[in-house]
Chain A
Amino acid sequence: MAAPSTPTGPGDASNRSLKQLVLGRRDVQDLSDTEQELPSELMTINMGPSHPAMHGTVRIVLTVDGERIVASDVQPGYLHRCFEKESEYATYTQVFPYTDRLNYVSPMINNCGWAMVAEKLMGLTGKLPRRAEYIRVIVSEMSRMTDHLTCVGASAMELGAFTPFLYLLKCREWLYELLEKVSGARLTHSYVRIGGVGKDLTPNFDAELTLCLDQIVKVMVECESMLNHNKIFRDRMAGVGAMSKDDAIATGCVGPIARAAGVDYDVRKDYPYSVYPELEFDVPVGTTGDCYDRYLVRIEELKQCIRILRQCLKQIPDGPVMVDDPRVALPAKAATYNTIESMIRHFKHIMDGIKVPAGEAYAFVEGGNGELGFYVVADGTGRPYKAYVRSPSFVHLSTASQLIHGHLIADVVPIFGMINMIGGECDK
């Protein structure tokens, strides 16, 4: 057994300075020659809460030794909106707009997750119209694309590559425009409903999405050629912020971060939901777990999304988009205005909310950042008794302090970019 690297002396711990504690050195004799010549004082600096290279509003208090980070304190919470508590005061349907604001770069997936937990409690899982399930997968995958396009584009921009950012955000905008046509809102869609989706796809959706995907494929080829073998980009990404497979599992990381570290876990494959079992796609897995692998995984997932979407467009059946169950389906507007039966049903749905039987359920989906889960305790009324969201960003951010430890300040930017912390989701 090796001897302790730092011999302990009397009154040791209390006499040590922060620097000594952090660096594990006892006194100046232990310093290298260079360091003895230029002994730097530790400095505490703020990164954020409002910083151009930080995703969302988050504050990091860095303790730096020169340019090197020796300690950090990551402080989230600036975007806390009491999602879970607010949900107790809203009907199940009224929670959808709140979920839009979780991961606001991929709101459709959040919508689906929330709908699924209510459906699980009501025993509707698997009983939705097939078209509704396909639409959910289509909009979810489009949302995953907007998520990854934003993440990759913004990270590249933060490392100086402005062109890919503009290109990729242009792609994202095409997708947003399509989602806006479908749902009526560009960003906060609130499109999914318990028992299906709010409305059917637009008549020309098939052709528009195909065109959109074709264009995105072309843009991605251009962007990959600009980034994949770009020396600056690779130097800044490769070997930076690496995480081992064991660490990823131990800290509860999911999604692209865990997959980049070699964890083959994707909710769509491992706990298949909706119509994913009917679709062919691969789950990319990395080897090194560094920022470059995370980038590659996201790029590959974008391609898989396109693959899934093309299959969906081929396979999507015609039919209703809402389950035929008066307990959950709002009556048609014409019927609401013209028959007392539908008027009452509409009133009860809106004012009392959809009655979800008492019980507890956890439903989870593969979000843009990994497993996004909703846990609900229902008491038989139209509002959740308790709601909880397992937000991947929150878990991932908890690893940020470790990941940036020992790196340069400049490395915070790619590491943080690739963690892809979304304030709305992390802070709930």
Chain B
Amino acid sequence: MTDVVKPPIEAPKPAPVPAPPSDSVNLTIDGMPVTVKKGTNVLEAARTLGIDISAFCYHPGLQVVAQCRQCLVSVEKNPKLQPSCQQTCGEGMVVHTTDPQSTLARKQQLEFTLLNHPIDCPICDKAGECTLQRLYFEHDNADSRVDVTKVHKAKVVDLGPTIVLDQERCILCSRCIRACDEVAGDHQLEFAHRGDHQILTTAPGAQLDNPYSLNTVDVCPVGALTAKDFRFTMRAWELEATPSVCNGCATGCNIEIHHKHDRAWRLVPRHNPDVNKYWMCDEGRLTYHELREHRLAGALVDGLPAGWDRAIRAAADHLSPILAASRQAVGVVLSAEASNEDNFALGKLAKAWGVGSVYVAARPDVPGRADGRLRVADVNPNRRGVQLIAEALALGARPIAELSADVRCLVMLGAELPGVAPARLAELGIIAITSHERGAAAGARIALPAAAWAEVAGTVTNAGGLVQRMHAAFAPPGQALPGWEAVVRLAQATAAGAAGKLSYTHAREVFKDMTQTVAAWSALVWAREARPLALRFAGSRG
């Protein structure tokens, strides 16, 4: 590899060093000076310099236990090697990570870790994103010296509803134990026995079933814990990652959609210190299945397939006489499950039509869900956004349960109208812009296929009012279009498009119009489109 030219280590000069700010410390790592915040550990300080001290048990979101001994470094004036994850940076500290002593320690530790590791890479779900693979290759890369049989342990241990454990692969780093303790607040995993018989396990008769259990799969540096949902479905390096936001509830956890062949294969949390840190809940993680269930792939008129043009014409023909007769007879339903752009476009259309009643449909709260961590009772990704849009447009929006008796026709976003009696639904002429064919949309007079959250560029607003950007991971099924585009087509067919400004051609145009309308969002800018990152090219991210 390239030779790193190290500047000579000089004795600290009595230079006129200005008094350092009280909250930062200066130290030298591998001859390079670095200034970090007080309390930072050496491992993190080295990362800021691009030095990757190998580590298994350290996770920036979890408590430090210095258990794996993989991150040992030499600190001058200290006779023994120090675990860099636990070693807090001190003023004037001089650290070496590439000296013979710590290099040897890393190599020996890796050899020790691999001693009883099974030869599972070809069948292991973690292969390709495995920390053990990466660290061995970069820091050891020596041949095996073992000539005795490996210690065998249980291979397929069913830990609970979501996780399968392979005890042989486990390197006993305890990240999962701490993840359960700290993320879920539930001490469900523990080590049993000692020495090379030590295993990870639950208490006898107990299960790993907390609502954040799948985070243990993410933090597992090897393939010991695997998700039942993802197991043996897809090779990690075949996937592509697109950043997005979980649409499972009002928290809006930042995620990566891992997709391939025009479908999502898993969702994994993306670090956002303000929202979800490194984590997300199991329920949110599995929401990607909905992207392939009961999808509406083509426009329907009276339950029969129709092209976009015919469906839009049918909608206009249906709406126009009712609108002409009475503005009160048409209701517009915004959806707390749809993006800001879709809702804003439909809100504008309601304005242009001058309809009397605008409603908001939202999935009812699940009070049992709220746990003071990431899960909240509101299971709608965008209730706050709809609220702000409705206020800004002065739509006088009410909950859909308060549906007026005058309304004969509903133009709705989304599939569900919770709180409306089935008998009432039957007499309504519904024009639904929906990604799924279910609920009220299943009986709609005209159903227009919309793209789901993973298929569009758009924004959602979480409970805290944070507007977060979603990127399109793959193409929507069939003829589905983004919701705002369906609204634009509808507007143009009903002559509202010519009068109003409903001639958007891209989500960012809707967004721009929206930020000019909604005062709270005036400072927001449309982020650049993110290209999917092929994990094959990202190298091992383990």
Q: Which of A327, A340, A345, A382 contacts B539 (CB 8 A)?
A: A382
8 example contacts (A-B, Cβ-Cβ < 8 A) are as follows A326-B141, A326-B142, A331-B143, A339-B143, A340-B117, A347-B127, A348-B133, A381-B539
- CB-based contact B144/A341 at 8 Å: yes
* Inter-chain contacts of A193 with B (CB < 8 A): none
User: Is A357 part of the contact surface with B, judged by Cβ < 8 Å?
Assistant: yes
A299→B1 CA distance, assembly (Å): 44
Per-position 1/0 for A32-46, Cβ under 8 A of B: 000000000000000
**Contacts A337-B119, A341-B142, A347-B133 supplied; 12 other A-B pairs, CB < 8 Å:** A326-B143, A327-B141, A340-B121, A344-B114, A347-B122, A347-B128, A348-B540, A351-B127, A352-B539, A359-B2, A381-B539, A382-B539
Which of B119, B140, B146 is packed against the most chain A CB atoms within 10 Å?
Answer: B119
Q: Which residues does chain A contribute within 8 Å of B539, judged by CB atoms?
A: 352, 381-382
- Any B CB within 8 A of the CB of A279: no
Query: Is A338 at the interface (CB under 8 A from chain B)?
Result: yes
**In the complex with contacts A340-B114, A344-B137, A351-B128 CB distance below 8 A:** yes
Map CB proximity to A onto B479-519 as digits: 1 under 8 Å, 0 otherwise: 00000000000000000000000000000000000000000
Whether A347 pairs with B121 at a CB distance below 8 angstroms is: yes
B window 523-542: CB within 8 A of A: 536-537, 539-540
State A200–B137 Cα separation when bound (angstroms): 26
A357 touches B2 (CB 8 A): yes
Say yes or no for A342: interface residue by CB 8 A criterion.
yes
CA separation between A359 and B114, bound complex, in Å?
Answer: 33
Question: Could you tell me if A381 and B537 are in contact, using CB atoms closer than 8 angstroms?
Answer: yes
Q: Within 8 Å CB of B540, what residues of A?
A: 348, 352
B521 CB–A CB distance under 8 Å: no
B237 within 8 A of A: yes
Known: A344-B136, A348-B540, A357-B1. A335 touches B117 (CB 8 A): no
Contact with B along A301-340 (1 / 0, CB 8 A): 0000000000000000000000000110001000101111
Answer whether residue B89 sits at the interface, using C-beta atoms and an 8 A cutoff. Answer: no
Closest Cβ of chain A to B74, distance in Å, is 25
Given A326-B142, A327-B1, A339-B119 contact (CB < 8 Å): yes
Is A383 part of the contact surface with B, judged by Cβ < 8 Å? Answer: yes
Instruction: Give Cα A326 to B144, complex, Å.
Output: 12
Is A343 located at the chain interface by the 8 A CB criterion?
Answer: yes
Q: Would A340 and B137 be within 8 Å (CB), given that A327-B1, A347-B121, A381-B539 are in contact?
A: no
Distance between B538 CB and nearest chain A CB, rounded to angstroms: 9
| Contact (Cβ within 8 A) B132 A344 | yes
Task: State which of B2, B121, B146, B237 has its C-beta within 8 Å of the C-beta of A344.
Answer: B121
- Judging by beta carbons under 8 Å apart, are A345 and B119 in contact? no
C-alpha spacing A357/B2, complex, angstroms: 7
**Known contacts A327-B1, A351-B237, A382-B539: A342-B143 contact under CB 8 Å:** yes
Instruction: Confirm or deny: B118 has a beta carbon within 8 angstroms of a beta carbon on chain A.
Output: yes
| Shortest beta-carbon distance from B1 to chain A in Å | 6
Minimal beta-carbon separation of A89 from chain B (angstroms): 8
By a CB distance below 8 angstroms, the chain A residues around B136 are 341, 344-345
Q: Which residues of A contact B140 (CB under 8 A)?
A: 341
Whether A343 lies near B119 (C-beta < 8 A) is: yes
0/1 interface trace, chain A 18-59, chain B, CB 8 Å (1 if under)? 000000000000000000000000000000000000000000
Closest to B134 in A: A348
Taking CB atoms, residues of chain B closer than 8 Å to A352 are 539-540
Question: Are B121's CB and A335's CB within 8 A?
Answer: no
8 Å CB contact of B118 from A331, A340, A341, A345: A340
- Given A326-B142, A352-B540: A338 and B133 within 8 A (CB)? no
Closest 3 CB pairs of A and B: A339-B144, A326-B141, A341-B144
Q: How far is the CB of A239 from chain B (nearest CB, A)?
A: 55
B interface residues, tally (CB under 8 Å): 26
Partner of B114, one of A327, A341, A347, A358: A341
Of B114, B132, B144, most A-chain CB atoms within 10 Å: B144
Q: Using CB atoms, name the residue of chain A closest to B2.
A: A357
A392 to B146, CA, bound (A): 51
Cα separation A181 to B134 with both chains bound (whole Å): 37
Contact A345 B537 (CB under 8 A): no
**A331 (CB) vs chain B CBs: closest residue:** B143
Q: Is the interface of A mostly helix, strand, loop or mixed?
A: helix
| Min distance, Cβ B509 to any Cβ of chain A, angstroms | 34
Give the chain A neighbours of B237 by CB distance below 8 A. 351
Partner of B143, one of A335, A347, A382, A383: A335
Cα-based distance from A383 to B537 in the complex (angstroms): 8
Asked whether A344 and B133 contact (CB < 8 A) given A351-B237, A381-B539, the answer is: yes
Q: Residues of A contacting B536 with CB < 8 Å?
A: 351
How far, in angstroms, from A105 to B373 measured CA to CA in the complex? 67
> What is the chain B residue whose CB lies nearest that of A352?
B539
Determine how close the nearest CB of chain B comes to the CB of A253; give it in whole angstroms. 37
CB distance from A356 to the nearest CB of B (A): 10
CA–CA, A335 and B141, complex, Å: 13
Nearest chain B CB to A77 CB, angstrom units? 29
Closest to B132 in A: A344
Q: Which of A347-391 contact B (CB under 8 A)?
A: 347-348, 351-352, 357-359, 381-383
CA distance A345 to B140 in the complex (A): 10
Report how far A342 CA is from B146 CA in the complex, Å: 12
Alpha-carbon separation in the docked complex, A171 to B86 (Å): 70
Give chain A interface residues in 191-248, CB to chain B under 8 Å: none
- CB-CB < 8 A to B118: which residues of A? 340
With contacts A335-B143, A335-B144, A345-B141 taken as known, whether A340 is within 8 angstroms of B119 at the C-beta atoms is yes
A-side contacts of B133, CB under 8 Å: 344, 347-348
Contacts of B122 in A (CB 8 A): 343, 347
In the complex, the answer to whether B127 meets A342 with C-beta atoms within 8 Å is no
CB B148 to nearest CB in A, in angstroms, measures 12
The distance in angstroms between the C-alpha atoms of A389 and B122, with both chains bound, is: 35
The residue in chain B whose Cβ has the minimal distance to the Cβ of A341 is B144
Alpha-carbon distance A381/B538, docked complex (angstroms): 9
Question: Once bound together, how far apart are the Cα atoms of A217 and B237, in whole Å?
Answer: 53
- Distance in angstroms between the alpha carbons of A42 and B121 in the assembled complex: 69
> How many angstroms from the CA of A358 to the CA of B539 in the assembled complex?
15
Q: Which chain B residue shows the least CB distance to A348? A: B137
Interchain nearest-CB distance for A62 vs B (Å):
46
Q: Which residues of A contact B137 (CB under 8 A)?
A: 344-345, 348
Contact B146 A339 (CB under 8 A): yes
CB-nearest residue of chain B to A356: B1
Question: Which single residue of chain A is at the shortest CB-CB distance from B540?
Answer: A352
Within B126-179, the residues touching A (CB, 8 Å) are 127-128, 132-134, 136-137, 140-144, 146
* B142 surroundings in chain A (CB, below 8 A): 326, 341
Q: Distance in Å from the Cβ of B428 to the closest Cβ of chain A? A: 53
Closest to B133 in A: A344
Q: Which residues of B contact A359 (CB under 8 A)?
A: 2
Nearest-Cβ distance from residue B71 to partner chain A, whole angstroms: 20
Q: Which B residues lie within 8 Å of A382 (CB)?
A: 539
Q: Which residues of A contact B121 (CB under 8 A)?
A: 340, 343-344, 347
A337, B121: Cα distance in complex, Å: 10
Least CB distance, A284 to chain B, in whole angstroms: 42
Residues in B3-60 with C-beta less than 8 Å from chain A: none
Chain B residue nearest to A357 in the complex (CB)? B2
CA–CA, A71 and B198, complex, Å: 83
Contacts of B141 in A (CB 8 A): 326-327, 345
A342 contact set on B, CB distance < 8 A: 143-144
A195 CB to nearest B CB, Å = 14
Q: How long is the Cα–Cα vector from A341 to B144 in the complex, in angstroms?
A: 6
**Complexed CA–CA distance, A341 and B140 (Å):** 9
Q: Nearest-CB distance from A216 to chain B (Å)?
A: 44
A327 to B139, CA, bound (A): 11
Q: Which A residue's beta carbon lies closest to that of B127?
A: A347
Chain B hits for A337, CB < 8 A: 119
Distance in angstroms between the alpha carbons of A206 and B489 in the assembled complex: 77
Query: How does the 8 Å CB contact mask read for A65-77 relative to B, with 1 for contact and 0 for none?
Result: 0000000000000
| B540 CB, min distance to chain A CBs, angstroms | 6
Instruction: Tell me the bound Cα distance from A340 to B134 in angstroms.
Output: 13
Nearest residue (CB) in B for A381 is B539
